[in-house]
Amino acid sequence: DAKTTQPPSMDCAEGRAANLPCNHSTISGNEYVYWYRQIHSQGPQYIIHGLKNNETNEMASLIITEDRKSSTLILPHATLRDTAVYYCIAEPSNAGGTSYGKLTFGQGTILTVHP
Amino acid sequence: EAGVTQFPSHSVIEKGQTVTLRCDPISGHDNLYWYRRVMGKEIKFLLHFVKESKQDESGMPNNRFLAERTGGTYSTLKVQPAELEDSGVYFCASSRRTTGVGLAGDIRDEQYFGPGTRLTVT
Mean pLDDT of chain A: 90
Q: Looking at CA atoms only, how far is residue A16 from chain B in angstroms?
A: 27
Please give the pLDDT value at position A32: 87
Please give the pLDDT value at position B72: 85
B105/B98 Cα distance (integer angstroms): 12
Please give the pLDDT value at position B102: 44
Contacts of A30 in chain B (CB under 8 A): 103
Peptide bond into B25 cis (omega under 30): no
Please give the pLDDT value at position B96: 84
Q: In the A/B pair of chains, how many CB contacts fall below 8 A?
A: 76
pLDDT in tens, B35-65: 999 988 999 999 999 899 998 899 999 999 9
Which residue stretches of chain A have pLDDT < 50?
Answer: 95-98
Q: Any residues with CB less than 8 A from the CB of B40 and at least 6 apart, and which?
A: none
Residue A70 forms beta bridges with which residues? A23
Q: Name the pLDDT band for B70 (thresholds 50, 70, 90).
A: confident
Contacts of A46 in chain B (CB under 8 A): 110-112
pLDDT in tens, B83-121: 999 999 999 999 986 655 444 445 557 899 999 999 999
